[in-house]
Amino acid sequence: MTDATARGANGFRYIGRRRRAVEHRRFVLGQGRYAADLRLPGMLHVALVASPHAHARIVAIDVAAAAALPGVEAVLTGEELQQQVDPMLPGVDAPKVARYPLARGVVRYCGEWVVAVVAATRAQAEDAAELVRVEYEPLAHAGDAASAMREDAVLVHPEHGSNVIFQRKFRWGEVDAHFAAAARQLSYRVRWGRSSTVPIETFGVTCAWNDADGLLDVWASIQMPKYPDQLARCLRLPGNAVRVHYDIDVGGSYGVKRGLKHTVLVGYLARRLGRPVRLLEDRLENMRGGDMQGPDRQFDVTLAFDDDGTIRSMRMRAIDDIGAYSGRAPLQLGKPVGAIVGPYRIASVEYEAIAVLTHKTPQEAVRGFGQSPTNYAIERGMDKVARALGMDPVELRRRNLIGADEFPYLIPSGTTYDSGDYEVVMDKALRAASYDELLRERDALRSSGLLAGVGLSTCLEPSGGNSSFEPLFNARNETTTWMDSCLVRIDLGATVTALIGTSSSGQAHETLVSTVVGEVLLREPDSIRVLHADSLNALPSNSPVGSRMAIMLGGAAAGAAKKLRAKLLAMGAYRLGAQVDAVDYVDGAVVLRADASCRVSWEQLVDIAHRKHHELPPGMEPGLQEKFVWEVPTGGSLPDADGRVQMYPCHSFESHVVLASIDPLTGKVSLLRYVVGHDCGVMISPDVVHGMTYGGVAHAVGASLMEKFAFSDEGQLLSGTFMDYLLPSAEEVPAIAIVDHCTPSPLTEFGQKGSGEAGYLGGPAAIANAVNDALAVRGAAIDSLPMTPQAVWRALREAANHEGTTA
Partner 1 sequence: MPSCVTIRMTVNGKAVERTVEPRQTLVDFLRDELGLTGTHVGCEHGVCGACSVLLDGQPVRSCCMFAVQADGLQVTTVEGLAPARGRLSTLQDAFCEAHALQCGYCTPGMLVACHALLERNPHPGEAQIREAIGGNLCRCTGYQQIVDAVKLASSQELCHD
Partner 2 sequence: MKAAPFDYLRADSLEQALHELARHGGDAKLIAGGQSLVPMMAMRLARPSVLVDIHRLAELRGWQVAGDAVRLRAASRQCEVEADAGLAGAVPLLRAALRWVGHQQTRNRGTVGGSLVHADPAAELPLAAAVLQARLHLRSERTERCVDAADFALGPMFTTLADDECLVAIDWPTWSVGEGEVLRCEFDETAIRHGDFAMASVAVQLVLDASGVCRRAAIGLGGVDATPLAFPDLAAQLHGRRIDASSAAEVAQAAAARCQPGSDMHADAEYRRHLGAALLQRALLRAAGEPVAGAAF
Near partner 1 in 197-216, by CB under 8 A: 197-202
From the list 402, 143, 179, the residue with the least C-alpha distance to 302 is 179
From the list 231, 282, 311, the residue with the least C-alpha distance to 48 is 282
Decide which of partner 2, partner 1, none touches 665; Cβ closer than 5 to 8 Å per partner kind: partner 2
Tell me whether strands 737-741 and 669-679 are parallel, antiparallel or unpaired: parallel
Provide the minimum distance between the beta carbon of 225 and partner 2 in the complex, in angstroms, as a whole number: 31
Cis peptide before 408 (omega within 30 of 0): yes
Q: How far apart are the first and last CA of the chain?
A: 68
Decide which of partner 2, partner 1, none touches 778; Cβ closer than 5 to 8 Å per partner kind: partner 2
From the list 516, 558, 752, 742, the residue with the least C-alpha distance to 650 is 752
Provide the minimum distance between the beta carbon of 122 and partner 1 in the complex, in angstroms, as a whole number: 9
With CB under 8 A as the contact rule, the residue among 240, 729, 790, 801 that binds partner 1 is 729
Is residue 65 a contact point for partner 2 (CB under 8 A)? Answer: no
With CB under 8 A as the contact rule, the residue among 13, 442, 699, 708 that binds partner 2 is 708
Is residue 52 a contact point for partner 2 (CB under 8 A)? Answer: no
| Site map (CB under 8 A) of partner 1, residues 593-612, x = contact | --------------------
Decide which of partner 1, partner 2, none touches 550; Cβ closer than 5 to 8 Å per partner kind: none
Provide the 10 A C-beta neighbour count for residue 170: 20
**Minimum CB distance to partner 2 smaller for 745 or for 788:** 788
* Spatial distance between the Cα atoms of 736 and 656, rounded to a whole number of angstroms: 10
| Residue 446 φ/ψ region, left for φ over 0, alpha for ψ in the -120 to 50 degree band, beta for the rest | alpha
- 573 and 582 Cβ atoms separated by less than 8 Å: yes
* Spatial distance between the Cα atoms of 652 and 380, rounded to a whole number of angstroms: 20
Near partner 1 in 676-705, by CB under 8 A: 687-688, 690-699
Is residue 135 a contact point for partner 2 (CB under 8 A)? Answer: no
Provide the 10 A C-beta neighbour count for residue 171: 17
Strand partners, 185: 304
* Spatial distance between the Cα atoms of 316 and 192, rounded to a whole number of angstroms: 14
Amino acid at 359: H
Sole window of 48-56, 615-623, 722-730, 768-776 interacting with partner 1 (rule: CB under 8 A):
722-730
Task: Give the per-residue SS3 of 774-805.
Answer: HHHCCCCCCCECCCCHHHHHHHHHHHHHHHHH
Strand partners, 390: none
Decide which of partner 1, partner 2, none touches 308; Cβ closer than 5 to 8 Å per partner kind: none
Decide which of partner 1, partner 2, none touches 226; Cβ closer than 5 to 8 Å per partner kind: none
Decide which of partner 1, partner 2, none touches 126; Cβ closer than 5 to 8 Å per partner kind: partner 2
Sole window of 177-185, 212-220, 262-270, 505-513 interacting with partner 1 (rule: CB under 8 A):
505-513
Provide the minimum distance between the beta carbon of 788 and partner 2 in the complex, in angstroms, as a whole number: 6
- 462 and 530 Cβ atoms separated by less than 8 Å: no
Decide which of partner 2, partner 1, none touches 705; Cβ closer than 5 to 8 Å per partner kind: partner 2
Decide which of partner 2, partner 1, none touches 252; Cβ closer than 5 to 8 Å per partner kind: partner 1
Near partner 2 in 449-488, by CB under 8 A: 449-451
Provide the 10 A C-beta neighbour count for residue 662: 28
Burial of 755: CB neighbours in 10 Å, binned 0-12, 13-18, 19+: buried
Is residue 123 a contact point for partner 2 (CB under 8 A)? Answer: yes
Is residue 26 a contact point for partner 1 (CB under 8 A)? Answer: yes
- 464 and 650 Cβ atoms separated by less than 8 Å: yes
Near partner 2 in 629-688, by CB under 8 A: 664-666, 668
Tell me whether strands 409-410 and 348-357 are parallel, antiparallel or unpaired: unpaired
Cis peptide before 633 (omega within 30 of 0): no
Provide the minimum distance between the beta carbon of 362 and partner 2 in the complex, in angstroms, as a whole number: 20
**Minimum CB distance to partner 2 smaller for 210 or for 784:** 784
* Spatial distance between the Cα atoms of 414 and 416, rounded to a whole number of angstroms: 7
Is residue 762 a contact point for partner 1 (CB under 8 A)? Answer: no
With CB under 8 A as the contact rule, the residue among 9, 60, 723, 735 that binds partner 2 is 723
Decide which of partner 2, partner 1, none touches 506; Cβ closer than 5 to 8 Å per partner kind: partner 1
Decide which of partner 2, partner 1, none touches 706; Cβ closer than 5 to 8 Å per partner kind: partner 2
Provide the minimum distance between the beta carbon of 701 and partner 1 in the complex, in angstroms, as a whole number: 8
Decide which of partner 2, partner 1, none touches 37; Cβ closer than 5 to 8 Å per partner kind: partner 1
**Minimum CB distance to partner 1 smaller for 4 or for 723:** 723
Q: Could you give the 3-state DSSP secondary structure of residue 59?
A: strand
| Site map (CB under 8 A) of partner 2, residues 209-228, x = contact | --------------------
**Minimum CB distance to partner 1 smaller for 1 or for 723:** 723
Is residue 298 a contact point for partner 1 (CB under 8 A)? Answer: no
Cis peptide before 225 (omega within 30 of 0): no
* Spatial distance between the Cα atoms of 344 and 708, rounded to a whole number of angstroms: 30
Determine phi and psi for 616, rounding to 5 degrees.
-80, 145
- Provide, for the chain, the percentages of residues in helix, strand and coil under a 3-state DSSP scheme, each rounded to the nearest 5: 30, 25, 45
From the list 502, 530, 483, the residue with the least C-alpha distance to 685 is 530
Site of interaction with partner 1 (CB under 8 A): 20-21, 23-32, 34, 36-37, 39, 123, 197-202, 249-254, 280, 282-283, 505-508, 687-688, 690-699, 721-723, 727, 729-731, 733, 735-736, 759
Write out the residues near partner 2 by the rule CB under 8 A. Answer: 122-123, 126-127, 130, 282-284, 449-451, 664-666, 668, 705-706, 708, 710, 718-719, 723-724, 726-729, 731-732, 778, 788-790, 793-794, 796-797, 799-800
